[in-house]
Amino acid sequence: MTVAMTVRAKVLTVSDGVAAGARDDASGRAVAERLMSEGFDVVEHRVTADGAERVGNALSHMAYAFNGLIVTTGGTGFGPRDKTPEGTRRVLDRRAPGLAEAMRATHPLGRLSRGVAGTRGRALILNVAGSPKGAVEQLEAVIDVVAHAVELMADNNAPHPTT
């Protein structure tokens, strides 16, 4: 399903290895490619090391004066450096638990995800898995409603979908 309106998107890869140049950013690239295949305009793709403070700071900068979707990939598991949800919660204005629940329900391993979803200003933020396959699966679970959510944040009078 291609989005009716052009929705801008940003991708944030959270990984010590990618930030250090020791690992390929396969998941960030997979997320960006999937968004573009759905008609999203990916306007930024950045990388940060793990850690709640780094993630929160990056998301604050990315969300500033931005109406669109921000997808983080990585840091949602049980590893000691996996602090993406904590950093995301620090900056959210409102949580969107239904989106996070839908993303976790895509695969049995999704139950191990601690990812959150919510809004900061007029940006919708989604935390997805760090593996390319898991990240894309989780994104696909909610991609059909993202454009409408972003449109509602831009213009509260947007009509509700009929399907």
Residue 46, in any domain of the structure: yes
| pLDDT at res. 2 | 46
8, 68 Cβ separation under 8 angstroms = yes
Residue 149, in any domain of the structure: yes
Residue 104, in any domain of the structure: yes
Total tally of structural domains belonging to the chain = 1
Residue 159, in any domain of the structure: no
Q: At what angle do helices 52-63 and 84-91 cross, to 10 degrees?
A: 40
Measured CA to CA, the distance from residue 163 to residue 161 in angstroms comes to: 6
Residue 51, in any domain of the structure: yes
What residue numbers bound the domain in which 144 lies? 10-154
Residue type, 30: A
Residue 119, in any domain of the structure: yes
Q: What is the pLDDT along the chain (163 residues), one digit of tens a residue?
A: 444 568 999 999 999 999 999 999 999 999 999 999 999 999 999 999 999 999 999 999 999 999 999 999 999 999 999 999 999 999 999 999 999 999 999 999 989 999 999 999 999 999 999 999 999 999 999 999 999 999 999 876 656 666 5
Residue 103, in any domain of the structure: yes
Residue 2, in any domain of the structure: no
Which string of DSSP letters, residue by residue, matches the chain?
A: ---SS--EEEEEEE-HHHHTTSS--HHHHHHHHHHHHTT-EEEEEEEE-SSHHHHHHHHHHHHTT--EEEEEES--SSSTT--HHHHHHHH-SEE-HHHHHHHHTTSGGGGG----EEEETTEEEEEE-SSHHHHHHHHHTTHHHHHHHHHHHH-TTPPPP--
| pLDDT at res. 5 | 65
Identify the CATH number of the domain in which residue 109 sits. Answer: 3.40.980.10
| pLDDT at res. 13 | 98
Two tokens, residue 46: 């950045």
